[in-house]
Amino acid sequence: MGRIPRVPKKREIGSGRSSLQGQHLLQGGALLAGNAGAPNEYRGLIAELDGKPVGIAHFLFHRHGWRIENVCYLQDLYADPEARGQGVGRALIETVYSAADAEGRPSVYWTTQDFNTQARKLYDRIETLTPFIKYQR
């Protein structure tokens, strides 16, 4: 892979948002046509490197039983294996943080598999591991 290019400024792309985190251009918007801006709808981000998609994130805001404000759930985070270690995951997470901050949603959370050691190295550097264990039907 080539060197990560610097993108000179933020730019708007369609009806979605575009933001720069680190050296990655991140493009985002509503995932389903007709749902742009709908409350609690999934939103998506694509990280590009040299014009090639190298990462994605899906997130949504939802109500929470223990908070007045909605919270943000980062449901999917993926970086192309060839782009890992170049800041793609961090840039996606930080862009989700920016979206949450812009909407007054200070809490962002996600889950990962306990054996996802490479991703957990990043997560352990930037956030706090909680003691919660997930059960599912």
Domain range list for the chain: 17-126
β-strands 52-62, 43-49: how paired? antiparallel
Helical segments of 16-136, H only? 88-102, 117-126
Question: Structure pTM?
Answer: 0.75
Quote the pLDDT of residue 55. Answer: 92
Quote the pLDDT of residue 13. Answer: 27
Quote the pLDDT of residue 50. Answer: 81
The segments of the chain whose pLDDT lies below 70 read 1-39
Contacts of 115 (CB under 8 A, 6+ apart): none
CATH code given to domain 17-126: 3.40.630.30
Quote the pLDDT of residue 123. Answer: 95
Q: How far apart are CA 69 and CA 132, in angstroms?
A: 21
* Ordered strands of the 71-79 beta sheet: 17-21, 24-30, 43-49, 52-62, 71-79, 108-109
